[in-house]
Amino acid sequence: MAMKFSASRIIRRWGFRRVLIVNGVISAAFLASYGFFTAHTAHWLLLVTLLAGGFFRSLEFTALNALSYADIDQARMSRATSFASVVQQMSGAIGVAVAAASIESIQFALGDGQLVSRDMTLSFGVVALITLSSVAIFARLKPDAGAEVSGQRDAAEASAEAPAE
């Protein structure tokens, strides 16, 4: 909930490109960190880590969803919404399948088929690397990508029109 209130301010301040790149790295780091949880990890640390990681993943999804509609005209908005919803559902399903496949592959390659903590640690690492690879795609965005949606264009124009002192 805290992210929903702060997302627009964060995106307006730093822009979609920078938010997606930096946040992609942060989200990948949190995902990798989950692999190091043990039965002895303090509950408060689990809670704080999961909440913070959830904040950054939610920010990433919110920024991506907002950016996906940045250049869609009103006449195509309904079709774009349907398409984006299907893509989001497919992405979630593919993510679960990749995570499950990584666990199975790691068990097959390194073990006797029994699930051990090492398998989860490595699987979280695989998922984190996949998440980190998205940064390469976000880096290809123009620095002002989605500026009209984020409000950055309005802020830039206002500062350009302000009288110089």
- In this prediction the pTM is 0.82
The mean per-residue pLDDT over the stretch 26-36 comes to 96
24-39 burial code (b ≥16 CB/10 A, e <16)? bbbbbebbbbbbebee
In angstroms, rounded to a whole number, what is the distance separating the alpha carbons of residues 12 and 155? 9
Q: What tens digit of pLDDT does each residue of 82-138 get?
A: 888 898 899 889 989 999 999 999 988 887 778 888 899 999 999 999 999 999 999
